[in-house]
Structure 1
C-alpha cells in the first residue's frame, strides 16, 4: 500500500494536536503492515521533528509523478490541501467544524478562505476521517456530504500521562491548591469565560490558576488584571509532557471551558493522571469523557464558579476520578492506528483498487480475528499453560539450560550497550532487543559458523557484523536477503561489502543453492514477514527451504513467543501474524528438528535464573514498548 501524507501542518505547527495524530499513528501503522510505504511531502521547513520509521520517506516539493498517476496510491492531507492531478483515492482528516459552527469568532477574510478550502477538501475526498462522532454529525449537518464516506476514528493520549508517586510531585504548587488550564486560548476556547468564573468564585483566594501554553499576551494580562486575578493567575508557558504530567498529578482540577471542540486530548491526559475534570457541557466532552467531568454551560460563568468549591471538597480521590482512570483505558494510539489503516484498506477495496476479501475482518472465515471476541476470551487466549500442556513439542528443557550454561563462558565479553557507540548495533533500537541480542551473541560464539544466511535484515544484521568483526576474526560469510533493505543500508559500513552479500529480492526468488550451501553448524537466520499466506516468504521457507537444509544446520526464527501465542498488546494493536502457530505445528512430533534455545520460554519458566546470569536478558526497551526483547527460538536440523 502506497500512502502519501501531505505535511502542511508540520510547516505551521511547532506543537499541537493535529501533528501529534500523525506522529503517533504513522510509525504504528508501518509497524502493523510490512507492505505499507509512506511518502511525506514537505517544503523542507518543518517546525518540529517529522515522524520516523524505516517505511517512511520524505520528499520536498512536488510528489513523484508515478505516485500521482497510480490508481492505488492514497493521498491524505494533514490540513485540507488538495493534490494536483491525483488518480488514486483521497482522504482528509476532519478535526472539528468550529470555524463553521462559530463563524462569529472567525470573521476575517482569511477565515472565509479557510472555510472554503475546508469545504472543497471535504467534498472532494473519497473518505473523511472525523475524530469524533460529534465532528461527524457536525459536518453532515453543515455540508451536503454523503454520510457513507464520513467515518469516525477516535484519538488517544500519550501513556506517559499516568498517576505519579508522591515523591515525584512533592512541593509542586508550594502547598497551595491550583486549577489548571492547558492549550491555546483562541476566542472559542473561552479563556475569558474561565477568568470570569474564577473571579466570581468568592473564595478564589484559596487557590491559584495555572495557565500552560503560550505566554499571556498584553491584552490577556490586562484582562486578568481587570478581574483582580493578577496574584492568582500564574502563566507557566510551554512545558514538556513530563512537566505537564506533574501538573495534572497535583492540580485540584483541570478546566476545559471551550464552546466547541472536535475531540479533547487534554481530557484524556487529565483523567489518566487521576485529575478531577471540569468541562463545558458540549457533545465532544460527553463523547470523550462520559460522566467523569463536572459539566457547566460555557456561557454561564456562575455555573463554573459553583464547581470550584465542589472540586476542592471532593478532592482527587473521588468516584469521578476513579471512573476517569478506568475510562481512558478504552483509548490507545494503537487502536487509532489500526482503525486508520483499516480505513485505507476498506477504501481501496470499496473502490476496486485491489480485490477485496470475500469475508470481512473478524468474520468466521476471515484470517483477521474478531478483536471483540478475543477481548471476551483474553483470559484463556493469553494465559500461559503449564509446560506439559504444550503437547507433542519437545522443549528439551535440560538441553536448553546446558547450552545456556555453555554460553555463559562468553558473558563478560558481551559487547553491546543501549547505544551503538563505535559499533553498528545498539540494544535500544526498536526492533531486535536485549535478550535476543544476547542469544545471538552466545550462539555465534559457541558454534562459530562459517556461513550465515539471514532472511529479513536490519539491526540483527548489524549485531552479526559486529560479532564477526570482534570475535570470529572476520571468518563468517554472510548473505542478507531482503526485498526492502533500507534499514540495513542505514547500518552498513563501506567495508561490509567484502564480507557480506546483500540480495535485494524476495526470498522466493533466491537460488536454492544459497541454502543448500549451508553446512553443519552454519546458520539460517529467519526474521521475515511472520505471515503465512498465499505465496508468502514464510510458506516458502517452511515448505521449500527447510527440507533441503543439511543435517546440523542451525535455524533461527524471531518473534516467537511461549506458549506459541502473540502478546495481547500485539494482537489487540492489530498485529495479526501467524508464524508462531505455523512453527508450533511444524515442531509437533517433528523428529527432524530439535529446539536448542527458546528465549521466551526460558524468560518465563526460569526468570530468576536467567536474569541473575544475564541481567539484560529479560530487560525491555523502555522507549519502545512494542519491542519484546526475548522472542528468538533456535532450532537444529538432525
Structure 2
C-alpha cells in the first residue's frame, strides 16, 4: 500500500503540532509495510527537515509573499501527483478542499480540533476555515479524531456517523528527551508554551499570574514562542509584571530543559484537540496545571491539576497548590509518568495503518 500526503501544513507551518503529527506518522509507516510520498518542493518546516527518505522541501531566503509562493508552487505539484493517482490512499495534511475535483482514490482526514466551530468569535471575520472544513469533512471516506472530545464535536456539529470516525491519540517518544541548557534563567518560574492568541486564553492567564506573583513574589513566568505583542506588553505593564515575565524562542532541546527546571507548566486554553505539551510535561517531570475544558481531562486524567480557565483567581489558586504542596506536586509527576506509557508515535501509526487498510478494502 502507498499513501500520498500533500503539502498544506508544511507550506505554511514552520513548526507545530500538526506538522509534527504528520512527520512522525511518515517516519514510522515502513514498520507496518506501508510506503508513502509527499508533494513538497518548498518548505521551512523544521519537523519535515529531520525526516529521512522524504522530499523535504527546499528553503528560500525570506521575502514578501513567501508563504503564498510556497503554497502556490507546492499545490501545483500536489495536483499533478493527485491526477496521476500513483497511490492507494490520500491523506491531506489540512483542510483545503482543492484536491476534490482531481482525486480518484479514497481519502482519510485527520481532524485535530473544532476550535473554529466552537469559538468563531475569536477568529478574524475573513477566516474561511469553517466552510473549507465542512466541505472536506463531509466528503472524507474515513475520519481520524485525535480525542474522544473531537469525535463528539464531529458528531454534534457535522452529524458524522459514529462508525465513520476512529479515535487515535497522538504520541510521544522518549528520544525527544535531549536537553540543551538555557542560561540565565530565574531560580523559580512557571512555564507557558506556544501561541498566545485567541482561544489560548493568555490575557486571562496574565491576570492569574499577577494573583500568583502577589503571593509568591520570587516566582517568574517564562513564555516560549514569538515576542510579546504591543497589546500583551501593555497588559503586562498595567499588571506591574514587567520584571517578572520573559518571552523567548527556543529549540526543542532547550524547551525540554525549560520543562525540566520549571515549577509547573500551565495550559489555560479554552479549547484544544489534544495537547502535546501535556505529554512533554509528563516526560520531563513537570507538574501540569490546566483547564477543565475540552479534551484536557481525557488526555491528562489524574496527571493534571484542573482550573476554570475563565477565572483568574481559580487559575492562580490551582498553580499555588502545586507550588506550596510538595506531596501533591510529586503525585502529579508520578501519575504523569504512568499515563505517558499509553501514548507513543509507533502505536499511533499502527492504528492509522489499520484505518488505511479498512478504507481501501
Aligned to 1:22: 22
2:107 maps to 1:100? no
Aligned to 1:40: 38
Residue 131 of structure 1 and its aligned partner are, at CA, apart by 0.9
Residue 57 of structure 1 and its aligned partner are, at CA, apart by 8.8
SS of alignment partner, residue 247 of structure 2? strand
Q: Would the alpha carbon gap of residues 234 and 339 (structure 1) be closer, same or farther in structure 2, given more than 3 Å must change?
A: same
SS of alignment partner, residue 155 of structure 2? helix
Q: Would the alpha carbon gap of residues 71 and 8 (structure 1) be closer, same or farther in structure 2, given more than 3 Å must change?
A: closer
Q: Give the Cα separation in 1 of the matches to 2:319 and 2:231.
A: 25
Q: Would the alpha carbon gap of residues 341 and 210 (structure 1) be closer, same or farther in structure 2, given more than 3 Å must change?
A: same
Residue 158 of structure 1 and its aligned partner are, at CA, apart by 3.9
Residue 189 of structure 1 and its aligned partner are, at CA, apart by 0.3
Aligned to 2:161: 146
Q: Give the Cα separation in 1 of the matches to 2:340 and 2:199.
A: 26
SS of alignment partner, residue 96 of structure 1? coil
Residue correspondence of structure 1 range 482-561 to structure 2 within 5 A: none
Residue 56 of structure 1 and its aligned partner are, at CA, apart by 6.8
Aligned to 2:129: 114
Q: Deviations over 1:426-461 (max 9, x none)?
A: xxxxxxxxxxxxxxxxxxxxxxxxxxxxxxxxxxxx
Residue correspondence of structure 1 range 409-448 to structure 2 within 5 A: none
Residue 309 of structure 1 and its aligned partner are, at CA, apart by 2.3
Residue 64 of structure 1 and its aligned partner are, at CA, apart by 7.4
2:227 maps to 1:215? yes
Aligned to 2:360: 348
SS of alignment partner, residue 129 of structure 1? strand
Higher RCO (CA 8 Å, separation ≥ 6 residues): 2
Q: Give the Cα separation in 1 of the matches to 2:110 and 2:359.
A: 14
> What is the total number of aligned residue pairs between the two structures?
339
Q: Give the Cα separation in 2 of the matches to 1:205 and 1:139.
A: 44
Answer whether contact 2:273 2:294 (CA < 8 A) is retained: no
Q: Give the Cα separation in 2 of the matches to 1:53 and 1:31.
A: 14
Answer whether contact 1:94 1:131 (CA < 8 A) is retained: yes
Residue 272 of structure 1 and its aligned partner are, at CA, apart by 0.9
C-alpha RMSD of matched pairs (Å): 2.4
Answer whether contact 1:15 1:48 (CA < 8 A) is retained: yes
Residue 204 of structure 1 and its aligned partner are, at CA, apart by 3.7
Q: Would the alpha carbon gap of residues 56 and 148 (structure 1) be closer, same or farther in structure 2, given more than 3 Å must change?
A: farther
Answer whether contact 1:216 1:235 (CA < 8 A) is retained: yes
Structure showing greater radius of gyration is 1
Q: Would the alpha carbon gap of residues 171 and 46 (structure 1) be closer, same or farther in structure 2, given more than 3 Å must change?
A: closer
Q: Would the alpha carbon gap of residues 8 and 65 (structure 1) be closer, same or farther in structure 2, given more than 3 Å must change?
A: closer
2:193 maps to 1:182? yes
Q: Would the alpha carbon gap of residues 294 and 115 (structure 1) be closer, same or farther in structure 2, given more than 3 Å must change?
A: same
Answer whether contact 2:39 2:55 (CA < 8 A) is retained: no
Q: Deviations over 1:177-196 (max 9, x none)?
A: 11000010121000011101
In the alignment, structure 2 segments of 5+ residues that lack a partner are 58-72
* Residue of structure 1 aligned with 2:348, choices 336, 339, 342: 336
Answer whether contact 2:91 2:108 (CA < 8 A) is retained: yes
2:210 maps to 1:199? yes
Aligned to 1:257: 268
2:101 maps to 1:77? no
Aligned to 2:142: 127
Q: TM-score normalised to the size of structure 2? A: 0.87
Answer whether contact 1:71 1:88 (CA < 8 A) is retained: no
Answer whether contact 1:169 1:246 (CA < 8 A) is retained: yes
Q: Would the alpha carbon gap of residues 85 and 162 (structure 1) be closer, same or farther in structure 2, given more than 3 Å must change?
A: closer
Answer whether contact 1:69 1:88 (CA < 8 A) is retained: no
In the alignment, structure 1 segments of 5+ residues that lack a partner are 350-638
Q: Deviations over 1:495-523 (max 9, x none)?
A: xxxxxxxxxxxxxxxxxxxxxxxxxxxxx
Which deviates more from structure 2 when the two are superposed, residues 310-319 or residues 331-340? Answer: 310-319
Q: Give the Cα separation in 1 of the matches to 2:202 and 2:5.
A: 33
Answer whether contact 2:144 2:168 (CA < 8 A) is retained: yes
Residue 258 of structure 1 and its aligned partner are, at CA, apart by 0.3
